[in-house]
Copies of this chain bind each other. A is one copy, B any other.
Amino acid sequence: MPTPQPIRVAVVGATGYTGAELIRYLARHPFVRLTAVTSEQSAGKALADVLPSVRGKVDLQLAAFDAGRVADEADVAFTALPLGTSAPGVASLLERGLRVVDLGADFRLRDAKEYARWYVPHPVPHLLDEAVYGLTELCRDRLPGARLVANPGCYPTGALLALVPVLAASLVEPQGIVIDAKSGVTGAGRNVAAEYLFAEVDDNLRAYKIGVHRHAPEIEQELRRHAGVEPSLLFVPHLLPIRRGILSTIYLRPRKGVDAAAIAAAYQTRYENERFVVLSGARPPEIRDVVGTNDCALGWTHDERSGHMVIVSVIDNLGKGAAGQAIQNLNAMHGWPEATGLDHLAVVP
């Protein structure tokens, strides 16, 4: 492939954790020029003063978000804004002709009523139909023409990559699925709240939003579409004392006659050409296998004693769960190899 002409890229919401991770990837992406970074709180400062790890590497000033200015400076925008603040900005960027990968939750649910039930009334419901739910492995054929990509939630990414192959192949029951998920704190964004203070999180573990987390309907929506089932699932997230990474332990009931070999075959068939899905078979993957990367690693066990199948799925919530997948989507949108700029190995230990 000849080297493409670089496109100009903006990161809207550059000083949150997802924004910082986007910058880490984009600053070294060979086909991209990072031209604009916005922040409401730190407008006017040098990016390196807020994010010292870029000193000497990225020389940009932070500005408050202004759709017109971003449109002047960039061809594509990544929007990584706090909950509920994304939709209007996205709409104004689209109007000005940019392509947008939105890393917020505003365009993930297709149904405005469902959105309203879990969030608030949708401010720009006319865009819901157009948005491509950007789990790259499931949607890549729609990306070259996409104007608006709704980057998936971090929990749904790890869960869907684990569930779709075995549900779509009718190997497991779609009822009674339990997803026991454990996430590092950056999954909550750079949220300055007491519950995310070091002294509250360190050497602790807690479950939260048992059965009522907003990522459950997102998982169900995509299982309906991509596995063709009407699932019943229980999603229970836990907050881990780590910075990055999600490990989901998923409990399923195999259908009669299904054994470990059939399950392995389903994963191998589905993912044999996927660069970012790592199959680790009977060894359950660990979170650190994927931290700092765009990988999702999957392991599975068929427990004959209890009749359950257990899938362990790990991702970096800021990688495949956010910024990494957003870059993967960018690559697919432009017809570039999907691994462009994402070809790192995990930082271990």
* Residue A327 at the chain B interface, CB threshold 8 Å: no
Are A210 and B242 in contact (CB-based, < 8 A)?
no
Q: Out of B178, B247, B308, which one reaches A205, CB within 8 Å? A: B247
Are A27 and B345 in contact (CB-based, < 8 A)?
yes
User: Closest CB of chain B to A28's CB: distance in Å?
Assistant: 6
Interface segment out of the listed A5-13, A46-54, A160-168: A46-54
Closest to A312 in B: B207
User: Closest CB of chain B to A324's CB: distance in Å?
Assistant: 12
Interface segment out of the listed A119-127, A136-144, A288-296: A288-296
What residues on B are CB-neighbors of A293 within 8 Å? 53
In the complex the two chains form, what is the Cα distance from A27 to B180 in whole Å?
Answer: 34
Are B280 and A206 in contact (CB-based, < 8 A)?
no
* Residue A240 at the chain B interface, CB threshold 8 Å: yes
Are A197 and B194 in contact (CB-based, < 8 A)?
no
Q: Out of B52, B193, B204, B344, which one reaches A280, CB within 8 Å? A: B52
In the complex the two chains form, what is the Cα distance from A242 to B185 in whole Å?
Answer: 15
Q: Out of B238, B280, B310, B343, which one reaches A234, CB within 8 Å? A: B310
* Residue A196 at the chain B interface, CB threshold 8 Å: yes
A residues 53-105 in Cβ contact with B at 8 Å: 53-58
Binding site for B on A (CB under 8 A): 17, 20, 23-24, 27-28, 51-58, 176, 178, 180, 182, 184-186, 190-194, 196-208, 210-211, 232-234, 236, 238, 240-245, 247, 249, 251, 278, 280, 283-293, 297, 301, 303, 305-308, 310, 312, 343-349
| CB-based closest 10 A-B pairs | A211-B303, A53-B346, A234-B306, A206-B286, A198-B201, A199-B349, A180-B180, A204-B288, A207-B284, A203-B242
